[in-house]
Structure 1
């Protein structure tokens, strides 16, 4: 019998080699990218057919630019050649300087002689020859494009402004910080996180496109950080009336007595009312209640397509209805009224209408950042020409609305670096979560505009400037600024790019009132208004020069005061609010503030 071979020690089983953590992360990221890619394609597929008439100016502007170029080339050929040679020379200088440094292995960046620009705050833009060359060449290109646009021989000043605006948009869009390969901050973050930042950035991109129906609209704030009625918009009150267009909120008193004359605030229906009631420390609504006012605030309906035929006359009727409710609830024949932005424009129409009808229900009125004279279009000049407004009319015919996304995009591109490119870089290339910033959260909670109302506003008020001219016809009356006769106060903001203070002043000066007070706040359209006394951040100006010698004369004679304008306006308002009566508490009403309409998001 054969002897079996000697048993040997069984071999140790081979253990699977542990995958390096970096490789694991890479594999996981590749899988996530593939999944995100499928979601991205699906999200883009949801995008509605674009309307080319609102994507870019019409052919007339491009024809004007081409004709201006040919005219300049024909009439001033030496100037064109000089500009081109200068551009070539500066470009070659930038390249030669970087090439010499790379060849010699030495780099002496010297002083940064470019304009101050926080996009280039990373030290590598100055210390690294590659990034320094990119920055300098971008600045060279930007100057060349702007100089070329400014030098065109154009007979139309509107075309000049539009071409300048479009040139600036191209310059901002082509900034090297907007591209991964030429953004040192994004590259450093990608290396530090082994690519995780780019994957998170793609997740943010997909999320934004999914949330906006296939449109790429960058989120400015973390939507999960705020809930209206829970940590913003929390001032106690009750919805005491609801109609098709608005809810009326009466706020609970915080003083034992209140002013006899109630106060109603009309916020703009382009955004939600809680801009005036963010966190308690910067809530104007809370502050007004603390000052002893019986306060009512309108919360507008976020309209759908069924509101397509709602016009400015319907909003005017809503103002009158809200005023009637306030007078009934308080037993007072008169009230004080506030209008913010477009709601201030409409309040001005209401005041003119009441004056013509002999109705004195409004004791005094206050206008926040309100335009009533549209003879100058400011930064909106590009959007208020026939080619774009024709496109908006087509949009209204298609959808019944001027949709919130279009309005948000328009406003954002007025400050593209702050509201488009900068947030996109942080979200999509750096992989950062949008900040938990209440004001930016509100900014992203936009509303639709009823189609008929939007066109009335754009054509009759903005383009034809009828209210400041021959008259704006509404409800059988031809309304003019000169009709307004009651005590009135206006607050404008020095850095406002939506309602420039000079334009606000010009319309205000044309009103017929003898009792007129104009306050000029520092900062912009929102921060200049939401400027509580506790912050002591922005000051304001009061003028004694009257309204007969123009905006600049008023400004030169104005006195500067540190801190918020709220207390000064509060004194003005108190003088016109009567004596003290027992505090008025809202009854059970329909539901607690902030109501239901404020939670409706634009689709």
Structure 2
């Protein structure tokens, strides 16, 4: 979870300027020419010159057939029109040369070099000729065909996005929570200041005696796990014969400005307690995703310190416990920015969900920013309706004290994975004392939780662990319905200290990891019993139908 810095443009509030960052990086003496690998730089320069001649020579010939497809240049003008082909080829050549320049610089700190490459990439992506009206053939043609109406519509879209303080990435009018997404039948059976607990109606006549409680990330709405019936993980778990509970985190408003990390951990513990009581079981199975997995693991560590034993197994989906390598989010973090957050909201305040959502968009600008700048503003069109992107745009605030504490102790100082260095809820934390069996899923293209970082959890937890690596990224790799038989996963590798050694010995299987997980979880589900006829029990009566009130509160 990054710590953004201010930006002059209100639409880009929270997005650190690549130009500013690059200027700061090159201000240090270690970036002087003496620090540059000159032979490598000269070779790059010669390749660049050769590439320029090649572009000129082929400008009026046929486009190269061996080029890797690039969605930014998909329309035929970029290959068939000599002028646009020169623009495209020149841009791609310059982008490659700049990347090689960054690689040629010697830096003592690998983090600085990675940061240089990352923000240079941000700048290069922003300068693509496809992003500008004067050099986008499709936008120009559309403007001529519509007598400028597309430009007027684009300006209107820009004004609306400025008003909303976001870039629209989907048709938000096409969905409503509880009508089109989050439609699984259930009821809220408990609520507190930080969350509601939803119990779902069983879909089988018999269920496993141990219920399943799911802890989604608190930085997003829970219904990523219950988008629509065909891609709902909640529905899949119900179909596998589990009584399923999900925590629906509250979207913090001003009355939660003092809420802490410990309050969230206690919320998870309360969800485990209520699930166990309603399910009539001595233990439950628990699943956490991303920050939800970090909270769940923290809760189990606190329970271990308290001598409580409520969980039979733990599933962690793309979760980080060791923050040594925090992925792309680490580029936004340093001591100064964390101190700034601590001083501004660490003792009370709210961190805007829209600001946080935009920062996540900047991690994949060619997927989540520039295509929509082109579509919305240059072409004057509205984005298509897509349930996953609707969820992505449904931002969630965070309480300042919780957020600042999380940044300091997890991302910056990496204290969770160190024995007895961190205290939560009045107890010292030691992850090695968590002895329950765990199923740990990572995804190979995850830019938020690098899969190698997720693998380190197998070395931290005290119980037996099953590590599985799915294809795709942080979201699509998790929401991979078993019925569609898409992608694949690796499993059954020999666990040791090194993630790459595990992968070398792992077996590749086509299809969704969901079925693999279900087979694993059944070993910890307990005996079968008749499915409950009603939701809740005498102590925890249904409060309102799912999806409940909390998930419907939107960030203004």
Note whether the superposition's TM-score is higher than 0.5: yes
1:577 corresponds in structure 2 to 525
2:134 corresponds in structure 1 to 181
Structure 1 CA distance for aligned equivalents of residues 504 and 202 of structure 2: 41
- Classify 1:396/1:92 alpha carbon distance in 2 versus 1 (closer, same or farther; 3 Å): farther
Given the alignment of the two structures, is residue 299 of structure 1 paired with residue 273 of structure 2, yes or no?
no
User: In terms of mean alpha carbon deviation, does 577-586 or 171-180 score higher?
Assistant: 577-586
Residue in structure 2 matching 1:511, options 443, 447, 461: 461
- Classify 1:506/1:387 alpha carbon distance in 2 versus 1 (closer, same or farther; 3 Å): same
1:28 corresponds in structure 2 to none
Secondary structure of the structure 1 residue equivalent to 2:64: coil
2:176 corresponds in structure 1 to 227
1:117 corresponds in structure 2 to 70
Structure 2 CA distance for aligned equivalents of residues 520 and 62 of structure 1: 38
Deviation at 1:302, TM superposition (A): 0.3
Structure 2 CA distance for aligned equivalents of residues 398 and 475 of structure 1: 18
Given the alignment of the two structures, is residue 560 of structure 1 paired with residue 512 of structure 2, yes or no?
no
What's the TM-score, normalizing by structure 2?
Answer: 0.91
1:447 corresponds in structure 2 to 396
Structure 2 CA distance for aligned equivalents of residues 232 and 110 of structure 1: 44
Given the alignment of the two structures, is residue 480 of structure 1 paired with residue 430 of structure 2, yes or no?
yes
Given the alignment of the two structures, is residue 385 of structure 1 paired with residue 334 of structure 2, yes or no?
yes
2:549 corresponds in structure 1 to 596
Structure 1 CA distance for aligned equivalents of residues 247 and 280 of structure 2: 19
8 Å CA contact 2:63–2:80 kept in 1: the answer is no
Secondary structure of the structure 2 residue equivalent to 1:531: coil
2:3 corresponds in structure 1 to none
Deviation at 1:79, TM superposition (A): 6.3
Structure 2 CA distance for aligned equivalents of residues 110 and 291 of structure 1: 52
1:548 corresponds in structure 2 to 496
- Classify 1:351/1:397 alpha carbon distance in 2 versus 1 (closer, same or farther; 3 Å): closer
Deviation at 1:193, TM superposition (A): 2.3
Secondary structure of the structure 1 residue equivalent to 2:203: coil
Which digits, 9 at most, give the CA deviation of each residue in 1:335-389, with x for residues without a partner?
Answer: 1111110010111111122222221111111111110011112222211222433
Structure 1 CA distance for aligned equivalents of residues 470 and 12 of structure 2: 42
Structure 1 CA distance for aligned equivalents of residues 345 and 20 of structure 2: 18
Which digits, 9 at most, give the CA deviation of each residue in 1:114-151, with x for residues without a partner?
Answer: 55422112222122121112112212221222122221
Structure 2 CA distance for aligned equivalents of residues 353 and 397 of structure 1: 23
Secondary structure of the structure 2 residue equivalent to 1:365: strand
Secondary structure of the structure 2 residue equivalent to 1:204: helix
8 Å CA contact 1:372–1:508 kept in 2: the answer is no
Structure 2 CA distance for aligned equivalents of residues 395 and 208 of structure 1: 27
Given the alignment of the two structures, is residue 396 of structure 1 paired with residue 396 of structure 2, yes or no?
no
User: In terms of mean alpha carbon deviation, does 287-296 or 590-599 score higher?
Assistant: 287-296
Structure 2 CA distance for aligned equivalents of residues 58 and 129 of structure 1: 35
Secondary structure of the structure 2 residue equivalent to 1:492: strand
Secondary structure of the structure 1 residue equivalent to 2:364: helix
- Within-5 A mapping of 1:22-37: none
Secondary structure of the structure 2 residue equivalent to 1:534: helix
Given the alignment of the two structures, is residue 62 of structure 1 paired with residue 62 of structure 2, yes or no?
no
Question: What are structure 1's unaligned runs of at least 5 residues?
Answer: 1-43, 102-106
Structure 1 CA distance for aligned equivalents of residues 332 and 106 of structure 2: 22
Deviation at 1:534, TM superposition (A): 0.9
8 Å CA contact 1:540–1:564 kept in 2: the answer is yes
Deviation at 1:72, TM superposition (A): 2.8
Structure 2 CA distance for aligned equivalents of residues 394 and 47 of structure 1: 22
Larger Rg: 1
Structure 1 CA distance for aligned equivalents of residues 395 and 164 of structure 2: 13
Deviation at 1:476, TM superposition (A): 2.3
8 Å CA contact 1:71–1:153 kept in 2: the answer is no
Which digits, 9 at most, give the CA deviation of each residue in 1:96-126, with x for residues without a partner?
Answer: 548xx7xxxxx32452665542211222212
Structure 2 CA distance for aligned equivalents of residues 420 and 431 of structure 1: 15
Structure 2 CA distance for aligned equivalents of residues 76 and 597 of structure 1: 55
Structure 1 CA distance for aligned equivalents of residues 11 and 381 of structure 2: 28
What's the TM-score, normalizing by structure 1?
Answer: 0.85
User: In terms of mean alpha carbon deviation, does 385-394 or 521-530 score higher?
Assistant: 385-394
Count the aligned residue pairs. Answer: 544
User: In terms of mean alpha carbon deviation, does 145-154 or 345-354 score higher?
Assistant: 145-154
- Within-5 A mapping of 1:166-315: 166-212=119-165, 217-315=166-264
CA-atom RMSD in angstroms = 2.6
Deviation at 1:306, TM superposition (A): 2.9
